[in-house]
Amino acid sequence: MGRKVTVATCALNQWALDFEGNLQRILKSIEIAKHKGARYRLGPELEICGYGCWDHYYESDTLLHSLQVLAALLESPITQDIICDVGMPVMHRNVRYNCRVIFLNRKILLIRPKMALANEGNYRELRWFTPWSRSRQTEEYFLPRMIQDLTKQETVPFGDAVLSTRDTCIGSEVCEELWTPHSPHVDMGLDGVEIFTNASGSHHVLRKAHARVDLVTMATTKNGGIYLLANQKGCDGDRLYYDGCALIAMNGSIFAQGSQFSLDDVEVLTATLDLEDIRSYRAEISSRNLAASRVSPYPRVKVDFSLSCREDLLEPLSEPIEWKYHSPAEEIRRSQQAGFFLPLSGGVDSAATACLVYSMCHQVCKAVQHGNQEVLADVRTIVNQTSYTPRDPRELCGRLLTTSYMASENSSRETCDRARELAQQMGSHHIRLNIDPAVKAVVGIFSLVTGRNPAFAVRGGSSRENLALQNVQARVRMVIAYLFAQLSLWSRGAPGGLLVLGSANVDESLLGYLTKYDCSSADINPIGGISKTDLRAFVQLCVERFQLPALQSILEAPATAELEPLAHGRVSQTDEEDMGMTYAELSVYGRLRKIAKTGPYSMFCKLLNMWKDTCTPRQVADKVKRFFSKYSVNRHKMTTLTPAYHAESYSPDDNRFDLRPFLYNTRWPWQFRCIENQVLQLERRQRQDLDGVD
C-alpha cells in the first residue's frame, strides 16, 4: 500500500519578460525534481513571465508569450509523469488574474486564480490583477486554440478548487494568502487537504525570513499537513531582491530549507514524507476534527494519478531539520559592464559598499569551485577573457572593483590612509586623486561672473556660502566618478566601462543628509535600503569573516563628510553634529514615521513614553520638530535617489515604497502647535506637582 510521497518545490532566478530564460529554468527545475523522484513540482509566483513585469501586465504580448511558454511546457517530454504547478497571468472573461496553472501529461487539471492580492509596501497587484472572490466556486475556462490543439481540451476548471489524486488531496494558496487573517489552508485542511502549496514572489527585507517560516510552521502545527513554499530569487530587473528560502514543512516541523542567498539560478528541494503521519497527527486534535465536521466542502478535481508508489516500504523518509537563520549582518552579504567604480572615502558607508563587492567575489569563487558553469560564464564575459577561472577573491576584486579616494584641502590624512589600507587588503585597483583644481575652477567661474568670492563659515562666510562651497566639492566628485568610470579601463588598455556605486544609507536618505547630484548619485546604490546600525554590524562581521583589519579603524572613527576646512589638521565636522541628531535616533524616527505611521504629533506622544527616562517633554518636542523640519525641507531629494535594493521596512524610497509629497509646508504650523500646547500643559502640571510638594 503506497503512502509515502516525494514532493518538490523550488527557487528560480526568473527575470521579468525573459520568456526564453524563464522557460529553460522551469524545465531544468522539473527535470531535477523528477530525477529526485518527485511526482509533484511547485514553482514560484508568475514564474513564466517573471514577477516584476509591472505595467507590462497590461500588454496583450505578456499574456500571449505566457501562453506560448505554457504550450512549450505542455509539449515537452520533461513535464510528463509529474504534476506541474506553474504561475502566469491569465485573462478570463476579459478580467486579468494572477494564476496557478496545474497540469499533468498534456492535460490542464485546474487554473487557480489568486484570491488575496498583495497591495501594500512595494506591492501593487491590484493595479494589474483582480482577486478571485468566489470562494469554493469554479467556472469553465475556454482554452485558447493553441492550447486546445495540444491538450485536446476545450474547457478546464477555473476557480477555487482542490486536486484529489488517487492517494491524497492537494490545495493551493498563492503568496499573500498565507499572510491573511483567515488563510485558505485553514478551511482546506479542515476539508481533508493534506498537501498545501504556496507559490510566492516574496522579496527580501532584513529579518523577514523569520515571519515566513513562523507562518508555515504554525499553519501545519495547528492543522497538520505538508506545506510547500516556492519563491523567486534574484533581482528580477527592479529594486527588489527576492531571497529564495523555499521550504517543505510537515506537522509543524521543517524538512527541507532552501538557501536565502545563492548564485544558482535553479534550486530544487524535495522531501519524502509519509501521508499516514498527517492522518495520525490530525486524528488526536479533537478541536480540529469538530471544526472539520462543519466545514463547507471544496470542489474537487479528480486526478487519475498517484504521488506515492505501491511498493514503498523500503523508501527512506526525510528527517526534520532545524531552520538556520542569517543575522541581519549576514543577510546584507549578496547584492553588463566590466566592473564597478566606487568613491572610497574612508568612512563606514563606502567601506560597507566595498565589502559587498568583496563578499560577492568570495561567493563567485566559491560557486565556481563548486562547478557552477553559469557563474563562470558570467565572470568570463565581464572580464572579457574566455579562459579565465577565478580562484582568489582578492585577485577577482582587483579585476572587478576600482576604488578612488578623492582628496581635497579639507580631507584628513587619517581618512586617506584608511581608504588606501582597505583597498590594499581587498585587492581593488585604487586611485588617489585631488579634486582641488576642479573645485577652484568651478568657484573661479562664479567669482569671475559675479565679482564675489564666497567663503567658509570659519573664514567669515555666511551659512549660504558655507553650504554652497561644500556642495561644489560633493558634486565635482560625482562628475569625476563618472569620468573615471567611463575611461579608467580605457586608460589601462582594457575594454568596457564601469558601473558607479553609491554609498548613501537609508537614514541619511530619510533626513536628506546628502547633496543632490553628489556621490550619492550613481548607477546603483547597494546600501541605499540599509540603516547605519545594520551597516556597522555588517562591517564588523566582515572584519572577522574576511580578515580585513582596516575596517576596525574605520568603525572606530567618527562619521564625517570632510567638506569644511580642517582645524589644525584635524576633522572639525561630524555627521551627527551636522544633522543635529544621532543615527540611533534617526532609525527610531524612521520606524515611527513609516511603520507606525505617525505624523509629528503622534510621534511626539509615542516618544514621550519611549524617552521618558532620558528626555523632558520639551526636549522630545524639540527633537521631533527638528526631524520633521529637516525631513520635509529635504524630501525633494528622494525624487532623484539612486536605485537601491529594498532591505529596510522604513525606507524613504520615493519610487514606489514611500508615496508622499516632496513639497511640504516645512513649518508644520498646526502640527507643531499641537505639540507645543501639549508640552505647555505637561510643564504646567509638573510645576503644580512641585508646588504641592513644597
Q: Which residues contact 597 (CB under 8 A, 6 or more apart)?
A: none
C-alpha 30/C-alpha 72 separation (Å) is 13
DSSP-derived letter for residue 523 is S
H/E stretch holding 138 reads: strand 138-142
What is the distance between the alpha carbons of residues 470 and 561, in angstroms, rounded to a whole number? 9
Give the Cα separation of 297 and 557 in Å (integer): 65
Tell me the catalytic residues.
Answer: 45, 114, 175, 345
DSSP-derived secondary structure for 410-467:
T--HHHHHHHHHHHHHHT-EEEEEE-HHHHHHHHHHHHHHHS-----GGGT--HHHHH
Q: How far apart are CA 360 and CA 366, in angstroms?
A: 10
Strand-pair category, 155-159 with 138-142 = antiparallel
Residues 554 and 405: beta-carbon distance below 8 Å? no
Residue in this structure with the C-alpha cell 581635497, named with its chain if needed: 408
C-alpha cell at 652: 524613504
Alpha helices in 36-162 (DSSP H): 60-75, 125-128, 145-151
Residue 468 has which C-alpha cell? 554652497
**In whole angstroms, what is the distance from residue 635 CA to residue 663 CA?**
7
- HSE at residue 319, side-chain half, CA atoms within 13 A, is 2
Give the whole-angstrom CA distance, residue 565 versus residue 569.
9
- Cell 529594498 belongs to residue: 646
Q: Which residue has the cell 559592464?
A: 337
Instruction: Kindly report the backbone phi and psi dihedral angles of residue 184, in degrees, each rounded to the nearest multiple of 5, phi listed first.
Output: -55, -30
| Of 600, 607, 608, nearest in space to 668 by CA | 600
Strands 169-174 and 162-164: antiparallel
Cβ neighbors of 321 (< 8 A, separation 6 or more) are 254, 255, 256, 257
Alpha carbons 128 and 55: distance in angstroms, whole number: 7
Helix (H) or strand (E) holding 113: strand 107-113
N-term to C-term CA, the chain: 88
CA atoms within 13 A on the CB side of 243: 24
